[in-house]
Amino acid sequence: MKIENKFVKIAVAVAALLLLAGSLVFAGSWAVKVTDASTGLVISGANVTATVTATGAYAGSNLTDLTGYANISGLGDAAGIQYTLNATNAGYMHYERNHPAIRDTQDLVSPITLTMSPSLPSNITGKITNSSASLDGATISVYNINTGALVSSNASNANGDYNITGLLSPAFYNINVTAPYHVSAGTTNVYLDSNAILAKNFQLVYIPGNGNVTGTVTLLNGTVFPGATVKVYRFIGGTQVGSSATTDTNGNYAITGILPGTYTVNVTKTNYAPTAIGPIEVRDYQNTTVDFNTLYPANVTAISINPSSATTRPGNSVTFGASATDQFGDAIPISGVNWSVSGSIGTISSTSGIPSLTTIFTSSGTGTVTLTANYNGITRTATISSVSPNPGNIVVGGPGQIYPPAATISNVTPEVKPPVTPSNVTPEEKPPMPQTKEITVTIPAGLVTNTPATFIAMRIDGTPVQGSNIQFYGPSGEQVTLPTDNEGKVVFTPKSAGVYSYSIPGFSGESSGTFSVTAPATSTGGPKPVLVPAKQNPETVQAPSALFSPVDSIVNFIRNNLPIIGGAAAIILLIIGALAYNYFGKGGKGGYHGGSSSAKAETKGAEKIPEVKYSSKPSKYKPLGKSE
C-alpha cells in the first residue's frame, strides 16, 4: 500500500460526508426570510409556522432573527408532501403560503421569502359588570403578550362600557380588569385580527365592606364646637347598638367601620340642647357626611325648691334644695341659687350673693315666712310655718309627715329629701355591651387546588367567631358559603388556581381579604416545540415569547449555508491531497521507496539505481544482502 493513496482516500471520504450531511440538513431544515412589503426591510420577531397542508398537522415553527431569517427544522422531503407556511407579527397582516417539500439543490442557495403587508389598527370594546350592576370606573389594561409591557388602558363609564382603540394587529394581547372593592378578573389572552373590533365583556366579584360617617358640629352662630359627643346608632331586636366619637378642636368627627344599614345620628354636650338627625343610610365602602349646625346652649327656664313647703317649731331646722330644668323640660345642672327668707322668725345658713344648691332654715319663733330661690332672675318660693309646741300630733316638714306629741320630743328635725346629685342617682340600666366585631382570620399557607384547607376566624379578644358564614369567591366565578364551628373554623377546598377572596359579613378588621391558590406541580418531560394556535380559538394560546440573539443569527447562517461550506471544505481537502501526492509520489524530498535512507533516487549520468531484491513473501521486503 502506498502512502499517497491514504491522503487521497481520506480527503475524498471527508468531502463526501460533508456533502451528504449538507444535503441531509437541508432536506430537514428550511430557511425562511420575512420582509416588509412596503419598505422591503427584513422583519425580526415574526412568528413563522409550518403545517402539513393536507392534514393541518403542526410541523415546526420559529421566530425570525435580527436578519429576518427563521430556520424551521424537522421537515421531511418526501415527494408529494406540501407544507403551509404562516407568518404573523404585530402590525402586519397574517400571511400564508403553500410550498412543496424541498428536494432541488437549487433551493439551497435562495431561502423562501415571505412578504408581509402592514395592517390597519384594531379595537377592543365591551362592558364591565358585577352580579348586580354595571361598574363605573373599572380599569381595563392591555399588555404585550411577549414583553408584558402596558400597551393601552381605559376606564369604564357609568354604564360599564369601555373602548380601547388603535391597537396593532394581528397580534396576541393580555387583558386585565380591576375595580375598587372587587376581585380582579385575572389575565385573559386574546387574539386581535387586523382591522377588527373584538367584543369582550367582563364580570367581577364584589367584596362586601363597611362604611363611615363623618361631619362637623357648629353652634347656631357658626362657631366650631369641640368636645361634643356624636353617636351613630340603631336598634336591633330592641337593643340600641352603635358607635360614638368626640369632636376635635375644629369641631370635626369621624366614625368608621359601620355595618351597612339605616341609622340615627345625635350630638350631645352638657348645658347644650341635644340634636338628632335621621334616618340616614350607611353604605359599604362609602362615606356619609352628617353636619350639625344648629347646636345651641340649653337655657334654664324654671327652678324648683324641695320641699315646696314645710312646718316646724321654734328651735328646729328644715333643709331645702334647689334644681333647674331647661326649655325642653329636662333637668340641667346649675352651680346654685341665691337664697333669701322674709320675716324675722328664723335664719338661713346660706350667705347672700353666694350661689348654693341647698340652705337650712332654723326657726326662732312662731309665724309664717317665705323662702325664695333666685337663679339669674328666675325665682321659686316655698312657705315655712313655725308653730308653738302642743300636746297633740303636728305636721312638720310637709303633708303626711306625722310626728309624736311635742311633749315627748325635745328636738324634731323634719325628713328632707336630699338634692339630686350624680352620686345618688341610679343610672339608667344599659344593655350589655356586644362582643367586639373586630376579628382576625388565619389563612393556611401553600394552598393547592382540590386540597382541603382550614381557615380560622377569631375576635381580637381571643374568642372564636362561632356560627358566622364565611363567603369564598373563586377566580372562575366560584362562590361558596361555609359556617364557622364552635372553634371559629371552616374547611374549604379550592377548585381553581388563582386569586380567591373571602368575606365575613357583620365584622370589621380582617373580615375580608384575598389569598392565592396554586395548581399541583407536574413534570414537564423536557422541552417541547412552540405551538402556534389555530385562529378559531385564539384566546387559549400564547405565541412564542423570545427573539433570536446575535449568536442565533450566526448559527442560522452556518446551518443555512452548510452545503456550500461543506463543498468548499471538500475541494480544499482534495487540493491538499493532490499536493501531498505530488510531493511524496513524484520524487519530492523525504520520499521513501523501500531502500535505505542513504540510497540515492536520482538517475544522473551513468549512475545506476541500486538494485533491490524482494523475498518470496508478499507481505515483507528486505534489502539485498540481508538473509530472511
Query: What digits encode the pLDDT tens for the residues 274-318?
Result: 788 888 899 888 889 999 887 777 778 888 999 999 999 999 999
Neighbours of 16 (CB within 10 A): 12
Q: Is the pLDDT score of 405 beyond 80?
A: no
Query: What digits encode the pLDDT tens for the residues 103-134?
Result: 443 344 467 888 888 877 889 999 999 888 89
Output phi, psi for 63, to 5 deg.
-100, 145
Helix (H, G, I), strand (E, B) or coil at 498: strand
Neighbours of 539 (CB within 10 A): 14
Q: Which of 14-23, 280-289, 482-491, 554-563 has the lowest mean pLDDT?
A: 14-23
What is the Cα–Cα distance from 199 to 123, expressed in whole angstroms?
Answer: 9
Q: Which of 182-196, 380-394, 610-624 has the lowest mean pLDDT?
A: 610-624
User: 3-state SS of the chain: helix, strand, coil percent to 5?
Assistant: 10, 40, 45
Query: What digits encode the pLDDT tens for the residues 221-236?
Result: 788 888 889 999 998 8
Q: Is the pLDDT score of 5 beyond 50?
A: yes
Q: Check residue 595 and give its pLDDT.
A: 43
Output phi, psi for 205, to 5 deg.
-105, 125
Question: How would residue 273 be classed by pLDDT, with cut points 50, 70 and 90?
Answer: confident
**Pick the residue with more confidence: 465 or 331?**
465
Q: Is the pLDDT score of 467 beyond 80?
A: yes
Q: Check residue 321 and give its pLDDT.
A: 93
Q: Are residues 403 and 447 in the same domain?
A: no
Q: Are residues 313 and 409 in the same domain?
A: yes
Helix (H, G, I), strand (E, B) or coil at 518: strand
Q: Are residues 347 and 407 in the same domain?
A: yes
290 touches 215 (CB < 8 A): yes
Question: How would residue 423 be classed by pLDDT, with cut points 50, 70 and 90?
Answer: very low
Among 150-164, 400-414, 457-471, the range with the most confident prediction by mean pLDDT is 150-164
What is the Cα–Cα distance from 626 to 628, expressed in whole angstroms?
Answer: 7
* Half-sphere CA count of 443, side-chain side, radius 13 A: 19
Q: What is the DSSP letter of 407?
A: G
What is the Cα–Cα distance from 359 to 305, expressed in whole angstroms?
Answer: 10
For residue 111, cis peptide bond before it (omega within 30 degrees of 0): no
Question: How would residue 419 be classed by pLDDT, with cut points 50, 70 and 90?
Answer: low
Buried b (16+ CB within 10 A) or exposed e, 357-386: bbbebebeeeeebebebbbeeeebebebbb
- 364 domain residue, yes or no: yes
Domain stops at, among 361, 390, 422: 422
Strands (E), 90-228: 95-100, 112-116, 122-129, 139-144, 150-155, 161-167, 171-178, 182-183, 187-192, 197-199, 202-203, 205-206, 211-219
Output phi, psi for 447, to 5 deg.
-70, 135
- 152 domain residue, yes or no: no
Domain stops at, among 448, 481, 510: 510
- 4 domain residue, yes or no: no
Helices 550-560 and 562-585 pack at an angle, to 10 degrees, of 60
Domain stops at, among 233, 261, 295: 295
Q: Check residue 255 and give its pLDDT.
A: 92
Query: What digits encode the pLDDT tens for the residues 30-80?
Result: 788 999 988 889 999 999 998 888 888 888 899 999 999 998 877 766 656
Neighbours of 462 (CB within 10 A): 7
- 172 domain residue, yes or no: no
Q: What is the DSSP letter of 375?
A: E
Q: What is the DSSP letter of 42?
A: B
Residue percentage of the chain with pLDDT more than 70: 71
Q: Check residue 295 and give its pLDDT.
A: 72
What is the Cα–Cα distance from 69 to 72, expressed in whole angstroms?
Answer: 10
Which CATH number covers residue 383? 2.60.40.3450
214 touches 255 (CB < 8 A): yes
Q: Are residues 221 and 330 in the same domain?
A: no
Segment 439-456 mean pLDDT: 91
143 touches 149 (CB < 8 A): yes
Nearest Cα to 532, choosing from 191, 77, 73? Answer: 191
Nearest Cα to 185, choosing from 135, 219, 230? Answer: 135
Question: How would residue 331 be classed by pLDDT, with cut points 50, 70 and 90?
Answer: confident
Output the average pLDDT for the chain: 76
- 455 domain residue, yes or no: yes
Total structural domains within the chain = 3
Q: Are residues 287 and 305 in the same domain?
A: no
Neighbours of 138 (CB within 10 A): 24
**Pick the residue with more confidence: 599 or 443?**
443
Which CATH number covers residue 471? 2.60.40
Pairing of strands 229-236, 261-269: antiparallel
Q: Are residues 377 and 339 in the same domain?
A: yes
What is the Cα–Cα distance from 175 to 200, expressed in whole angstroms?
Answer: 10
Q: Check residue 152 and give its pLDDT.
A: 93
- 266 domain residue, yes or no: yes
Q: Are residues 243 and 330 in the same domain?
A: no
Output phi, psi for 94, to 5 deg.
-60, 135
Which CATH number covers residue 256? 2.60.40.1120
Q: Check residue 371 and give its pLDDT.
A: 93
Q: Are residues 396 and 467 in the same domain?
A: no
52 touches 66 (CB < 8 A): no
- 334 domain residue, yes or no: yes
Q: Are residues 242 and 277 in the same domain?
A: yes
Query: Distance of CA 298 to CAs 110, 128, 271, 301, Å?
Result: 102, 54, 5, 9
What is the Cα–Cα distance from 70 to 48, expressed in whole angstroms?
Answer: 7
Q: Check residue 522 and give its pLDDT.
A: 63
Q: Return left, alpha or beta for 25; rule: phi > 0 is left, psi -120 to 50 is alpha, else beta.
A: alpha
- 69 domain residue, yes or no: no
List beta partners, residue 215: 253
Q: Check residue 545 and give its pLDDT.
A: 38
CA dihedral 88, 93, 99, 102 (to 10 degrees): -50
Q: Check residue 310 and give its pLDDT.
A: 93
Q: Return left, alpha or beta for 4; rule: phi > 0 is left, psi -120 to 50 is alpha, else beta.
A: alpha
Q: Which residues contact 381 (CB under 8 A, 6 or more apart)?
A: 305, 370, 371, 372, 373
What is the Cα–Cα distance from 157 to 326, expressed in whole angstroms?
Answer: 55
Query: Distance of CA 244 to CAs 40, 241, 460, Å?
Result: 75, 10, 20
Query: What digits encode the pLDDT tens for the residues 572-592?
Result: 877 887 777 676 655 444 444
Q: Are residues 270 and 346 in the same domain?
A: no
Quote the domain boundaries for residue 488: 438-510
SS (H, E, C) 269-304: ECCEEEEEEEEEEECCCCEEECCEEEECECCEEEEE
Q: Are residues 410 and 452 in the same domain?
A: no
Output phi, psi for 257, to 5 deg.
70, 35
Q: Which of 24-28, 115-119, 142-146, 452-456 has the lowest mean pLDDT?
A: 24-28
Alpha helices (H) in 64-108, listed in sequence order: none
Q: Are residues 246 and 281 in the same domain?
A: yes
